[in-house]
Structure 1
C-alpha cells in the first residue's frame, strides 16, 4: 500500500467521544443522577374552546408538590375587539361589560388573585357616565396560582365578554366550566 492512498485513523474522534461521555456523565451527576429539569418533560396539559367570539386556551404549568399555575389566553376572533378588565364588577359598569374571570372549584384552590398580562385602559361608552376599564384590542393572558387539596375532580370557571367600539359586543360568557382531574402525576383536562 502506498503512503499516498493510506489514511491514518484520526485520534480526535475517540477523544471527542470520550470527552462527550465525560461531560454527559458529569452533568447527570451534578443533577443528582437525574436528567436536568425540563429534559424529557411532556408539554403542560392544555385545552381550548371557542364560544361567543372568543377562543380560550387554558393550560397548567409549573406543577410541583400539588401547586401550579393556571393560564388562560382569551383571544377575540375578530380584529378590533377587546376584553374587559379582571377588576370590572360582576355586573359591569352601569350594566356594560363583564369581567374577564377565572375561578376554581373541587380539589383545586386559588393561591392568590387572577392577574392579567396587559395594561388596563379606560374607554367612554355612550350612555354610561363612568369610564369602563378594558384591555387593548386582541388577546389577553391571565394567570391564577392554584393548589390541589387532594386527588380528584376540579372545575375551572371562566367568564368574559368581548366588544368593539365600532361593531358592538358579543354575548357575555359566565362561569363556563372546564373539567380536569388531579392525580399524583398532576392535572389533566377532561376530553372536550
Structure 2
C-alpha cells in the first residue's frame, strides 16, 4: 500500500515528496516574503497533507504537518500562527476520521493494545514482545523473529532494533537523533543563509 516497485526496487513516493516539501518551503520563505507566496505554500502543504491523509498514510501526513509547523513558525515567529494551524488540522483530521472510521478505531485501540492482540493491536504487541526479548544486548543482527511480521522494517523499526541489537544500541540511536536535532537548532542562528537554516531545521 502506497509503495511503488520499479525495476525491483520499492519506494514510497511520499519519501521523495518530503524532501521536495522541505526545500519548497525553505525557498518560499527565503526568497519570497509576499503574502501571496505564503498562501501558495500553505495551499501546497494542505494538498500534500490532505492527500496523504485520504490515502490512509497518517504517519507521513503527521510528519508533513510537523514540518509545516516548523517552517510556519520560522517564517512568522508567532505561536498564534502555529496554534491556528494546529486547530485547522484538528478540524480537518476530524473530518477525515469521519470518512475513514477504521483509522479512528486504530487510535481508540492505541491505549489498550493488549486487549486485542490478534486484531487491532497485533503489530504493537508483537513489537513490544520482540523489544523485550532482545534484552540489553540483543539476539544478534538478523536473528530476530519480528522481521517476519508484515511491514516490520518500516512500521516497527525500533522494535527490530531492540530485538536484534539490544536496548543499549536502540537508546544510543535515539540519543544520536536527539543530539543531531539539538546541534542543528543551536547552529541555526549562525547560518548565513535563511534558506539553509530553515531547510536544516525542517529536515531534522
Q: What is the TM-score when the length of structure 1 is the normalising length?
A: 0.24
Which protein is bigger by CA-based radius of gyration? Answer: 1
Higher strand share: 1
| TM-score in terms of structure 2 length | 0.23
